[in-house]
C-alpha cells in the first residue's frame, strides 16, 4: 500500500501519543464466503467485545469423580505424538508445546464434556496468528482456537475460542499472557446418514474462563485454513488433538466426561 505523506504524519502522531500502532485487522478478503456472508478469515469481520473474566484461578480446577483424566500434570501417557510417544516438555505440573508436533489422545471420544487449562507465553512474541497459537481439536478435526487474544488483533474467526475459520466467540474473554485460562467444552458429535450426508452437524458450547463464548454453535465442517469447511463421514468417536503451532503454549488439568 502506498501511504500518503499526510497519512504518515497522522500515523506518526498517533504512535507518539499512544506509543503503538493503531489496531490493524489482519485477515483475508480473497477467500471463499461462509454462509454468514463473511469471507473465511475476513479482515472486516467485527471483533467480539472484550469481557474481563476476573483473576486467574490460583490452582487447577477440581476434577469430577467420574472424569477420565487425560493429563494430570505429570504424564502424557494418555497421548501419542506424530510418531510414537507424546514428547511435549513436562515441568511444574504442565506440558509445554516444544515443536515436536501435535499430540492426540490414544482413547477416542464421541459426545463429551472436556475441560482444558492453558496459558500462552508470558513473554509476548509475534502478533496475530503468531502469538500463543495452539488449538483443541475434537475428533482431531473440529478446532477451538487457542491464541493469545489479549490486546492482539487477528481475524475474528481466528482469535482465541473461535471455531477456527468459521465462527468468532461471542465475546473475547482472554486473560493476559502467562495467566492460566480454562475451556469447558460441551461437544456433540456430528451424525451421518448411510449415504455420507450430514444428519446433524457437530455442535459445541464453549465456556472460556467461566464465560459462555459459544452457545450450541454448529460447525460447518472440519476446521480449515483459507478454505470452506466440508463434512466427510466419519465414525462416532475420534481423538482429542492439541496443536503444536510452534509457540510454547502450556496445558494442564485436562479431563473429559463421556456423555
Q: Which residues lie near Mg ion (CB under 5 A)?
A: 133, 135, 145, 243
Quote the least distance from Cβ 134 to Mg ion, whole Å.
6
d(CA 115, CA 184): 5
State which residue, 135 or 177, has the beta carbon closest to Mg ion: 135
Q: Residue 146 Cβ, how far from Mg ion at the closest point, in Å?
A: 6
Using the minimum distance from each CB to Mg ion, give the nearer residue, 200 or 225: 225
Cβ nearer to Mg ion, comparing 9 with 160: 160
Buried-exposed string 113-142: b where 16+ CB fall within 10 A, e elsewhere: bbbbbbbbbeebeeebbbbbbbbbbbbbbb
Determine the residue with CB nearest Mg ion: 135
Query: Is 105 or 133 the residue whose CB approaches Mg ion more closely?
Result: 133
The Cα 226–Cα 207 span in angstroms is 26
Give 21's contacts (C-beta < 8 A, 6+ positions apart).
11, 14, 15
Q: How far is the CB of 246 from Mg ion (least distance, A)?
A: 10
Residue 28's DSSP bridge partners are 42
If the CB atoms of residues 147 and 258 are measured against Mg ion, the closer one turns out to be 147
Helices within the chain (DSSP H only) = 5-18
Q: Count H helices, E strands: the chain? A: 1, 15
Q: Among residues 134 and 253, whose Cβ is nearest to Mg ion?
A: 134
Shortest Å, Cβ 214 to Mg ion = 16
What ranges make up the beta strands (E) of the chain? 68-71, 79-80, 89-91, 94-96, 103-105, 112-119, 134-138, 142-146, 181-188, 191-192, 198-200, 203-208, 211-218, 241-242, 250-258
How near is the Cβ of 60 to Mg ion at its closest, in Å? 23
What is the closest distance, in whole angstroms, from the C-beta atom of residue 196 to Mg ion in the complex? 28
Amino acid at each position: 500500500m502506498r501511504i500518503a505523506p499526510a497519512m504518515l504524519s497522522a500515523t506518526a502522531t498517533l504512535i507518539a501519543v499512544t506509543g503503538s500502532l493503531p489496531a490493524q485487522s489482519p485477515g483475508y478478503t480473497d477467500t471463499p464466503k461462509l454462509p454468514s456472508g463473511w469471507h473465511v478469515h475476513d479482515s472486516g469481520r467485527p471483533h467480539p467485545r472484550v469481557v474481563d473474566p476476573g483473576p486467574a484461578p490460583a490452582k487447577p480446577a477440581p476434577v469430577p469423580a467420574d472424569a477420565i483424566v487425560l493429563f494430570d500434570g505429570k504424564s502424557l501417557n494418555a497421548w501419542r505424538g506424530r510418531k510414537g510417544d507424546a514428547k511435549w516438555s513436562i515441568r511444574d505440573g504442565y506440558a509445554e508445546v516444544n515443536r515436536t508436533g501435535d499430540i492426540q489422545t490414544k482413547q477416542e471420544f464421541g459426545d463429551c464434556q472436556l475441560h482444558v487449562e492453558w496459558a500462552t507465553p508470558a513473554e509476548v512474541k509475534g502478533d496475530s496468528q503468531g502469538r500463543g497459537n495452539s488449538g483443541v481439536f475434537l475428533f482431531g478435526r473440529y478446532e477451538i482456537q487457542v491464541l493469545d487474544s489479549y490486546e492482539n488483533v487477528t481475524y475474528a474467526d481466528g482469535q482465541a475460542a473461535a471455531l477456527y475459520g468459521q465462527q468468532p466467540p461471542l465475546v473475547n474473554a482472554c486473560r493476559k499472557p502467562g495467566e492460566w485460562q480454562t475451556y469447558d467444552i460441551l461437544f456433540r458429535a456430528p451424525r451421518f446418514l448411510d449415504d455420507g450426508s450430514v444428519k446433524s452437524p457437530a455442535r459445541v458450547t464453549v465456556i472460556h474462563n467461566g464465560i459462555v463464548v459459544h452457545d450450541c454453535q454448529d460447525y460447518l465442517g472440519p476446521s480449515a485454513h483459507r478454505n470452506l469447511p466440508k463434512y466427510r463421514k466419519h465414525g462416532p468417536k475420534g481423538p482429542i488433538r492439541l496443536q503444536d503451532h510452534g509457540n510454547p503454549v502450556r496445558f494442564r488439568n485436562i479431563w473429559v466426561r463421556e456423555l
